[in-house]
Chain A
């Protein structure tokens, strides 16, 4: 075993504490009363208002229409994150399958065209995308929120590389075993891609969860608000007398952190496997 060097550990522990501190502060502050935060600044010790605050942000109706609860926003964010992750995996897997296994003209060119879009951030195409959605009357729908962002160069790239590493004999064995293209995809490639899929799932779920600009444009109906928007609107709308509800904003921020953390914790082992190990 390697010798434990106290200094190295001290540095690592210090770094870890430093990175954790803001999260801890947010969590602790969310359990204090708004007025205390306002007068004393942020807390690193737990307060007594926790249960009440979280209960309030999850259930209290707010917004102009008075219909938006924290729970609804959490659900919206969840739909957005899951829709993104699942949709992107399905779409990019199928795209990669076509690119790798079907010999058609310009397949490589097409791949590089897809790959080049990696260089373009969402903001570049946000206006045309908005216009298309608007003309299709898909504003303020989940479809409109999710579908335009589903095409994923990253996912296609990862799956393409993965499929190329699958030995050709496997396809040949499957052909002799009477598996057609669809059967081969579902019976062999999908199960083989499990680790890859979970790696992409994590990345894409968090990407979808954290979307801010796109939902901001696409949704004017408050019942489609996601948590990311909600945090902002809480600060604006639920202002009691003069003091902003810092505690509620913090509580919502903490709630917004929970699902991505959960996803990472659940998929982490497969995530690391997917990125490092080829299981063939």
Chain B
């Protein structure tokens, strides 16, 4: 149990001038569940592997507890890692798989036995202790991999996309299990995924990475409600937030000639972000040509065009939609981003100051 701190951590692979991870600062409190999320190649796995000690750190400091671990061997860092493909030792039984790390550490037989039994009970693996990994299903193997992490009672758990190899249904239930387990053990966890839904449901705090740099750190809802950049806005949430080119004119956000929300921002081009679930179909408002409709059962997602820009709207009705519909949005639900840097413009949330008179 320990806090984790990453200070200006960077990694540049030999032979490359572009850093794979550039100057990442994250402070992780004891017992916190942090999810690193981002598209493939954003450096999230590299970052995790640096914490694990499987990659060298070329810049910055990584501290686990109060120990600077930059140069320590993985085994000396007091961490445990769960891999995407489980990485169980195929020739060992489930019991031996879990006990192997403890044996290497020189724990006594009784301690090993006790911890393995405890982990097996927690993960409901007791009937499988004497089986080899190949005789287990994917979900069971992943549980063994977690058991192997638990028995070490490490300062931190590191998860590298542990659910990616499971089918959709199992993924949901394993997600819950991981969350419950982590809450119960209270072990600091660092979890890597490219699945934003997994990230949202698991995390105490999200770290959104893009191109090796941190885009935003925050609680899932905070990241969802106030994305710090167009990248985060498009990445978190499904369907993705629609980003449209708009203008600020005389204190109003104008899209395709329609005023959407008052704003305190200098006139000029701006990127407008609209979440499909914040929009509704009404009688008056922004006209949208319906392109196609995705039926999801509980709701449907209407894709259409506003001018020459595409927009998605969540709708719960079941009337046939065709031609042009009108879209309304609450002014407080409008996200604005700088059209060149892509950073969030906070003026969006506040209505323009209205003169007192």
A263 at the interface (CB under 8 A from B): no
Q: A175-B73, A192-B91 in contact; A169/B101 too (CB < 8 A)?
A: no
**A38 CA / B81 CA spacing, docked (Å):** 76
Q: A187-B100, A191-B91, A280-B90 in contact; A176/B75 too (CB < 8 A)?
A: yes
A12 at the interface (CB under 8 A from B): no
Query: Pick the contact of A173 from B79, B87, B91, B105 — CB < 8 Å?
Result: B87
A188 at the interface (CB under 8 A from B): yes
A170 at the interface (CB under 8 A from B): yes
Q: A176-B52, A176-B74, A176-B75 in contact; A169/B83 too (CB < 8 A)?
A: yes
B16 at the interface (CB under 8 A from A): no
Least distance between A178 CB and chain B CB atoms (Å): 3
B68 at the interface (CB under 8 A from A): no
Give the residue name and chain of the A residue nearest to B83 (CB).
A169
Interface size on A, residues (CB 8 A): 19
**A178 CA / B106 CA spacing, docked (Å):** 10
A71 at the interface (CB under 8 A from B): no
Instruction: Check B89–A188 contact: CB distance below 8 A.
Output: yes
**A121 CA / B88 CA spacing, docked (Å):** 42
Instruction: Check B75–A177 contact: CB distance below 8 A.
Output: yes
**A175 CA / B87 CA spacing, docked (Å):** 12
Q: A176-B75, A176-B80 in contact; A167/B87 too (CB < 8 A)?
A: yes
Q: Flag A143-170 by CB within 8 Å of B: 1 or 0 each.
A: 0000000000000000000000001011
Q: A170-B89, A192-B90 in contact; A176/B101 too (CB < 8 A)?
A: yes
A49 at the interface (CB under 8 A from B): no
Give the residue name and chain of the A residue nearest to B52 (CB).
A176
Least distance between A242 CB and chain B CB atoms (Å): 62
B178 at the interface (CB under 8 A from A): no
- Determine the main DSSP class of A at the interface with B: helix
Q: Which residues in A have their C-beta under 8 angstroms from that of B53?
A: 175-176
**A26 CA / B206 CA spacing, docked (Å):** 79
A94 at the interface (CB under 8 A from B): no
B111 at the interface (CB under 8 A from A): no
Q: Flag B75-115 by CB within 8 Å of A: 1 or 0 each.
A: 10001110111111111000000001100110000000000
Instruction: Check A179–B104 contact: CB distance below 8 A.
Output: yes
B122 at the interface (CB under 8 A from A): no
Q: Which residues in A have their C-beta under 8 angstroms from that of B52?
A: 172, 176
Q: Flag B41-83 by CB within 8 Å of A: 1 or 0 each.
A: 0000000000011100000000000000000011100011101
Query: Pick the contact of A178 from B89, B91, B105 — CB < 8 Å?
Result: B105
A183 at the interface (CB under 8 A from B): yes
Q: Which residues in A have their C-beta under 8 angstroms from that of B148?
A: 173, 177
Q: A167-B85, A169-B85, A183-B104 in contact; A175/B91 too (CB < 8 A)?
A: no
Q: Flag B135-161 by CB within 8 Å of A: 1 or 0 each.
A: 000000000000010000000000000
Q: Which residues in A have their C-beta under 8 angstroms from that of B90?
A: 192, 279-280
Which residues of chain A in 230-280 are interfacial with respect to chain B, using CB atoms and an 8 Å cutoff?
A: 279-280
Give the residue name and chain of the A residue nearest to B54 (CB).
A172
**A247 CA / B53 CA spacing, docked (Å):** 69
What 7 A-B pairs come out closest when comparing CB atoms? Answer: A178-B75, A177-B101, A169-B87, A178-B104, A173-B87, A191-B91, A169-B83
20 A–B pairs (Cβ distance < 8 Å), ordered by A = A169-B84, A169-B86, A169-B87, A172-B81, A172-B83, A174-B89, A175-B54, A175-B74, A176-B54, A176-B74, A176-B79, A178-B75, A179-B75, A179-B100, A187-B89, A188-B89, A191-B91, A192-B90, A192-B91, A279-B134
Known: A176-B80, A176-B81. 5 other contacts (CB 8 A): A173-B89, A176-B74, A177-B100, A177-B148, A194-B91
Residues of A participating in the B interface, judged by any CB pair closer than 8 Å: 167, 169-170, 172-179, 183, 187-188, 191-192, 194, 279-280
